[in-house]
Chain A
Amino acid sequence: MSSRRFSYWIPVALLLGIVLGAVIGFVVPRGESLPGDDSPEAGFARDMTTHHTQAVEMGLIAYTRAQNPDVRTMAVDIALNQQGQIGMMQAWLREWSLQPTGSQTPMAWMPNGAESVVNGLMPGMATQEQLKQLREATGLEEDKLFLELMIQHHLGGVHMAQEVIKLSKDQEVVEAAELTVNSQQRELTDMQSLQKEISAAS
């Protein structure tokens, strides 16, 4: 009878419904994978903001004080680019409903990361004393000191970005970190050739 067929189809339809419902439930809401407060993504966004903030500071100092026009161009390019990235990373944290300030120690999101922090400074970051020297340096000494400090800074930044690429599955974060690695590695090469140019001229 019709009810006989019906009775067969009910479990099949139910099964189908469950499968499709599960598929919808798992696939559609991508927000399910929002990074949490202690995630590598949140740690990266916060710590890279700190790291970038110092690059902006050094870049703005060199933009106003360096002698070599190519160094000044490089300095303002780094400052504006990294300031833009800070805005992006802060927007991530807001999208994830997280605070700009985390509860973990700096770099805790990276394996052995916390050990790499010296006096509150992440890898490659300059000390307050070095920043003071940069603010006060004159002539080409300013250019040389900026290049020296920014090369160290970039080496630390590239390392942090490479680590989050390994740790994260968040496409947006990984893509941004890849951009950081690419642009900073290119800038490293450019800064090294500027170093040679300046030491040859002086």
Chain B
Amino acid sequence: MSTPGPERVPSTVKVDKTTGQGKPPAGKPSGGRPGGPNRPGGKGGKKGRKPVTPVKVAGGRNWGPIAVAGVVVLIAVGIIGWSVAASVQSDKKAGIPWEERASAIADIVNFRETDPDLVKGSQHKNGALTYAQDPPVAGEHNPSWQNCNGIVYDAPIAKEHAVHSLEHGAVWVAYKEGLPADQVAKLAAKVEGREKTLMSPYPGLTNTVSLQAWGYQLKLDSVDDPRIDEFIKALRVNASIEGPTALCDSGVSATGTAPQS
């Protein structure tokens, strides 16, 4: 490679200069023929055989490296194209998974980690039930769910129905009884008309607001806390263990802490 290199370079430069007067790329196909006579001259050392043969040989020799180089370049650029496209795709997919969103919320309690049995899904049971958490976040519940298509209840509801709503993917916004109306209105604006949410006052709640999704809880002391929106964004629908089409209507719409069934 290195030995023929220096020999050939000057000849290339010379030919380039002469043909360079025209258009190098366009001159090429036609330049091949003028090049023909030149080559036997240049290759005089290889004996002046028929000019035709070297041209053919030269053409054959050239196509190999050209094809290889072309394929190599093609593959390289193709790979670049793919990786660029893939990175663009992954940028768009930068949508953080909901579990990560949830765990990034300060002070959230994840019962899926601390009490997996509680969260894996539960039997229907009629009548009043007791829960280890207050407000409850999962576990056994009544066959009927509390309607949860963005309903703002103005009185306490039965937790046995509300837990069933959580199982269907609802976020339950429970607030301290006697919360001033303007603060209740701020919470209601996050719930009203938004399916898979419900809201009610909760007797005995010491925090201002307690957010529940199936297996998750977050207790806060201000209705202006930005974590309320984060909790809803991360867990509404996502926390359902029955998928996004579980119903939030056709259930109980009555208030009162005694379960209906």
A residues adjacent to B (C-beta < 8 A):
1-10, 12-14, 16-18, 20-22, 24-26, 28-29, 31-32, 34, 36-37, 49-50, 53-54, 56-57, 60-61, 83, 86-87, 90, 96-101, 103, 106, 119-122, 125, 128, 135
Contacts and interface: CB of A to CB of B under 8 A. Distances in A.
B84 A25 contact: yes
Nearest to A128: B151
B61 A2 contact: yes
A202 B50 CA distance: 108
B35 A4 contact: yes
Contacts of A31: 85, 89, 92
Contacts of B69: 9-10, 13
Given A2-B58, A60-B250, A22 B77 contact: yes
Contacts of B37: none
Contact of B233 (A20, A96, A103): A103
Contact of B24 (A8, A83, A103, A128): A8
Interface string B11-53: 1100110000000110010001001000100100000000000
Nearest to A125: B193
Interface of B: 4-5, 8-9, 11-12, 15-16, 24-25, 28, 32, 35, 39, 42, 58-59, 61-62, 65-66, 69-70, 73-74, 76-78, 80-82, 84-86, 88-89, 92-95, 98, 101, 149-151, 189, 192-196, 232-234, 236-238, 243-245, 247-250, 253
A1 B45 CA distance: 13
A24 B81 contact: yes
Given A21-B80, A119-B192, A120-B194, A3 B12 contact: yes
A83 B238 CA distance: 17
Contacts of A99: 95, 98, 101, 233-234, 238
Given A6-B65, A121-B193, A57 B150 contact: no
A106 B189 CA distance: 12
A172 to B, nearest CB: 16
Contact of B195 (A1, A28, A50, A135): A50
A136 to B, nearest CB: 11
Contacts, number: 167
Nearest to B235: A101
Given A32-B85, A103-B233, A120 B192 contact: yes
A20 B9 CA distance: 31
A101 B237 contact: yes
Given A1-B12, A2-B58, A22-B81, A34 B93 contact: yes
Contact of B95 (A10, A54, A61, A97): A97
Contact of A97 (B35, B92, B233, B244): B92
Contact of A101 (B73, B150, B236): B236
Contacts of B32: 5
A101 B58 contact: no
7 contacts: A1-B58, A6-B62, A17-B70, A22-B81, A50-B195, A97-B93, A100-B238
A1 B70 contact: no
A22 B73 CA distance: 12
B83 to A, nearest CB: 9
A97 B95 CA distance: 5
Nearest to A97: B95
Contacts of A128: 151
Nearest to B12: A4
Contacts of B248: 53
Contact of A29 (B58, B85, B149, B151): B85
